[in-house]
């Protein structure tokens, strides 16, 4: 009798867990616009078809060119655009006309509009300056920075004025018909590392959660910006689900969960693949537990020194996982040898085309066919 009873209780608990995950049907913002809901559903639907490929600053510059005379290194190599386009808001908070990588914010707005009109997806990260010291996003000299911007902190008002700029910019993104464009927002990323002022050594788990929650509440509830899908992203330093979720702000605050990872030239391909697969197992289990969408929010191998890296290493590592997208980092026009996508003539170009041709790798043209814009 006792066994039957415990089985019954276990079944009930399981179904409660499942329905909790299943109930995460819409975005965390309950008042998300119709277009934002469509984007959210499109992202979910595309996961059944494959993995989307993304590129940071893809339309702004590449190897040997800078907008406005530009195009896209991915387009030059494959004849198609990426599916996801990464942008960064760093320096918007200072009132600067261009971001920390010299992309003019007006240009960024226009390019984001072009992406959306082609059916692509825009993601915004924020390499935000240090509001306490006035230094850069990498200024970790004062471990009290996060505390200083939370409610009651000496820089709270300064920080709110920065969030206002983010709200104005993201809320102000418009398509050609004047309708707000839905986008992914990925603030305070790689928080388990020690290189950004919001990193693990400089604030408690609780302070980090408060920062993320405050940001969500301020943008969504105070500023009433309802075109955002929130992305929570670690680095690859976690070794288990509990650790992965240790700074997770809660199901009411995130839509996509992911992590950033890069291959180091000192790491052999097999080691990188094995490590990445282990992390993806953990991410998938965290995604099941939370009911959220898993993604590789940044990935790459600087200069892609191995010609078949795309099919033999990257695709071999990720193909068995149901992640939504993998975003490759930027092809810097202003920093020599800092590139993560092939360009015409680069040694991994041919293999990237092979990757592109695989049925389950999704690029710009695949998104046009799916869902409504």
Site of interaction with ligand BMA (CB under 6 A):
88, 90, 100-101, 127, 330, 335, 338
Burial of residue 237 (CB within 10 Å: 0-12, 13-18, 19+) is middle
Residue 335 beta carbon to ligand BMA: minimum distance, rounded to whole angstroms: 6
Q: Which helix (H) or strand (E) holds 20?
A: helix 2-23
Closer CB to ligand BMA, 102 or 205, in the complex: 102
Closer CB to ligand BMA, 58 or 101, in the complex: 101
Of 224, 249, 95, residue with least CA distance to 158? 95
Burial of residue 44 (CB within 10 Å: 0-12, 13-18, 19+) is middle
Closer CB to ligand BMA, 102 or 347, in the complex: 102
Closer CB to ligand BMA, 35 or 73, in the complex: 73
Residue 265 beta carbon to ligand BMA: minimum distance, rounded to whole angstroms: 16
Residue 338 beta carbon to ligand BMA: minimum distance, rounded to whole angstroms: 6
Tokens 């068995």 locate to: 320
Residue 128 beta carbon to ligand BMA: minimum distance, rounded to whole angstroms: 11
Rounded to an integer, what distance in angstroms lies between the CA atom of residue 25 and that of residue 10? 24
Of 363, 357, 334, residue with least CA distance to 65? 334
Residue 173 beta carbon to ligand BMA: minimum distance, rounded to whole angstroms: 19
Closer CB to ligand BMA, 241 or 331, in the complex: 331
Tokens of 353: 């085309």
Q: Are 311 and 354 in contact (CB under 8 A)?
A: yes
Residue 93 beta carbon to ligand BMA: minimum distance, rounded to whole angstroms: 14
Rounded to an integer, what distance in angstroms lies between the CA atom of residue 52 and that of residue 228? 19
Closer CB to ligand BMA, 43 or 103, in the complex: 103
């Amino acid at each position: 009798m006792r066994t039957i009873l415990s089985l019954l209780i276990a079944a009930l608990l399981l179904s409660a867990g499942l329905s909790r995950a299943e109930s995460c049907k819409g975005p965390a913002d309950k008042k998300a616009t119709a277009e934002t809901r469509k984007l959210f559903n499109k992202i979910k639907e595309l996961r059944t078809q494959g993995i989307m490929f993304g590129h940071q600053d893809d339309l702004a510059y590449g190897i040997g060119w800078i907008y406005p005379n530009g195009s896209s290194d991915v387009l030059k190599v494959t004849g198609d655009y990426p599916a996801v386009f990464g942008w960064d808001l760093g320096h918007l908070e200072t009132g600067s006309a261009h971001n920390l990588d010299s992309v003019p914010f007006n240009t960024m707005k226009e390019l984001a509009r072009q992406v959306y009109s082609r059916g692509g997806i825009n993601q915004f990260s924020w390499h935000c300056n240090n509001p306490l010291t006035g230094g850069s996003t990498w200024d970790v000299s004062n471990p009290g920075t996060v505390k200083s911007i939370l409610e009651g902190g000496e820089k709270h008002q300064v920080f709110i004025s920065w969030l206002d700029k983010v709200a104005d910019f993201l809320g102000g993104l418009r398509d050609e018909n004047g309708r707000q464009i839905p986008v992914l927002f990925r603030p305070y990323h790689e928080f388990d590392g020690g290189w950004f002022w919001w990193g693990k050594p400089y604030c408690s788990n609780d302070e980090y959660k408060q920062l993320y929650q405050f940001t969500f509440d301020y943008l969504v509830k105070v500023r009433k910006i309802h075109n955002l899908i929130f992305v929570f992203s670690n680095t690859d330093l976690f070794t288990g689900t509990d650790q992965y979720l240790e700074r997770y702000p809660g199901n009411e605050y995130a839509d996509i969960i992911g992590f950033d990872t890069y291959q180091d030239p000192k790491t052999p391909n097999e080691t990188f693949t094995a490590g990445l697969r282990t992390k993806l197992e953990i991410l998938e289990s965290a995604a099941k537990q939370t009911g959220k969408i898993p993604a590789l929010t940044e990935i790459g191998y600087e200069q892609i020194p191995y010609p078949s890296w795309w099919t033999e290493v990257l695709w071999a590592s990720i193909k068995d996982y149901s992640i939504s997208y993998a975003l490759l980092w930027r092809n810097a026009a202003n920093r020599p040898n800092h590139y993560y996508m092939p360009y015409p003539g680069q040694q991994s170009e041919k293999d990237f085309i092979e990757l592109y041709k695989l049925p389950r790798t999704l690029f710009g043209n695949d998104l046009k066919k799916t869902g409504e814009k």
